[in-house]
Structure 1
Amino acid sequence: MAEEKILRCSKLLAQQGMTIAFAESATAGWLCSEFALAPESGKVLKGGIVCYDAELKKKILNVPNELIEKHTPESREVTEELARRLGELIASDIQVAVTGLTGPGGSETPDKPVGTMFISAMIKGRLVNFRQVFSGSCEDVIHETVRAAAQLLINELE
C-alpha cells in the first residue's frame, strides 16, 4: 500500500486534473513507485527517470557538467536543474527531482552531512525547493524523503 501522504497527494492531483513526473537520484525510483501504488496513478503519473549516476544527469537530462562540478551532483542547484529539464522529456504539469546523500561516499561535508536530501518541483512553471537532513539508515532517509516530497506537493496543491 502506498504511503498515506502519497495517497492524499495523488487524490489532489487527480481532483485538479494534473499529471506528475519524476527525476530521481538518491531515491532511485522509490518516489515514482509509491505514486504507482495510488488508485489514481493511471490518471496522474506520467513516469520517471532514475539518474543515480551523475553521467545520467548530464546525458539524459542535459544538466551542464559545469553545474555538477561547481555544486556537486547532490545539491539544490543540480536538483533544480533536473526539475527544470525533466519537462522536456516527460510532458507533465509537475516535475519533481530528488538528489541527496542517503549514505557515505558522496559529496558530504560538515554543511551537507549524510542524510541531506534535496527536492525541487516545477509546478506549472513555478519552482519550489526543499532541503532537509534526515537521520537513520539509507532506507529511513528515503522513506522520510518520500513523505517530505508528498507533503511539499500537498502544501502547494491545497
Structure 2
Amino acid sequence: MNGKDMAEIDFDKLNEIAEQIQKQGWKLALAESMTAGFLSSVWSLQTEAGTYLKGAVTAFDEEVKQHVLGVSPDLINLYTAESIEVTLAMLTGLRQLFPSDIQIAITGLAYEGKEKHPTAQVGDVFLAVALHEECTSRQYHFEGHNAAAIYIQAFNASLYLLDEQLGTI
C-alpha cells in the first residue's frame, strides 16, 4: 500500500480549532468506541493540549459503555452499539463524567468482526459533537483499505462537525 491510499489528518483544521478552544479557555472531552482512543491520541499531540483536553473514555466494550458512560443495555439491544442513538447516549454519559465545554462521541464499524453486524457496514461512523448544550450528530460512510484509513476520515469528520458547531457562536 502506498501513501496515496491513506487518508491524511487535516492538521490545518485541527490547529485552527485547537487554537480557538485554547483562546476561549474551553475544555474538551471524548468518548470513543470504534476508534479506541485514536481521536484523543491525536488531540493530545497538540502542543497546548494540556490546557484544554480534560479527559477521554475508550468504551470499546459494551460493558464500558454501560457501566462507565451509563448507556442503557436496552438502548444497545434496540439499536446496536454502532448507532447514532448509542453515540448520543455516550455523549450524555461523557458530560456527566467529565463536565466540559465540548464533547465528542464516536461509534462505528471500521472492520468486520467475527459475526456480520446486523445493520452497520464497514465504514459506517456515528458522530456526536456538543458545544455547551448544543449537540449535532451525524452518520457517515467512509471507504478505506483498512481501519486506519477509516479512523483518519472519522477524525477529520469530527473536526468538521465541531467546526460547524463553533461557527454558530
TM-score range relative to shorter protein: over 0.9
Q: Which of residues 143, 147, 166 in structure 2 aligns to 1:157?
A: 166
Query: Retained in 2: the 8 A contact 1:3–1:34?
Result: no
Q: Which of residues 137, 147, 150 in structure 2 aligns to 1:141?
A: 150
Query: Retained in 1: the 8 A contact 2:130–2:165?
Result: no
The SS at the match of 1:127 is: strand
Aligned to 1:61: 69
The SS at the match of 2:36 is: coil
Aligned to 1:113: 121
Structure 2 Cα separation of the partners of residues 13 and 84 of structure 1: 21
* Partner deviation per Cα, 1:78-116 (whole Å, 9 max, x = no partner): 00010011011112111111000000126635x631100
Q: How many residues align?
A: 156
Shift of 1:48: 0.2
Structure 2 Cα separation of the partners of residues 42 and 149 of structure 1: 20
Structure 2 Cα separation of the partners of residues 11 and 93 of structure 1: 15
Matching of residue 91 in structure 1 with residue 99 in structure 2: yes
Which one has a bigger Cα radius of gyration? 2
Query: What pairs with 1:1-158 in structure 2 (closer than 5 Å)?
Result: 3-4=10-11, 5-105=13-113, 108-109=117-118, 112-136=120-144, 137-158=146-167
Query: Retained in 2: the 8 A contact 1:84–1:122?
Result: no
Shift of 1:14: 1.2
Percent of aligned pairs with the same amino acid: 33
Shift of 1:15: 2.1
Structure 2 Cα separation of the partners of residues 79 and 20 of structure 1: 17
Structure 2 Cα separation of the partners of residues 87 and 107 of structure 1: 32
Give the aligned residue type for 1:40. E
Shift of 1:44: 1.2
* Unaligned residue ranges in structure 1 (runs of 5+): none
TM-score (norm 2): 0.87
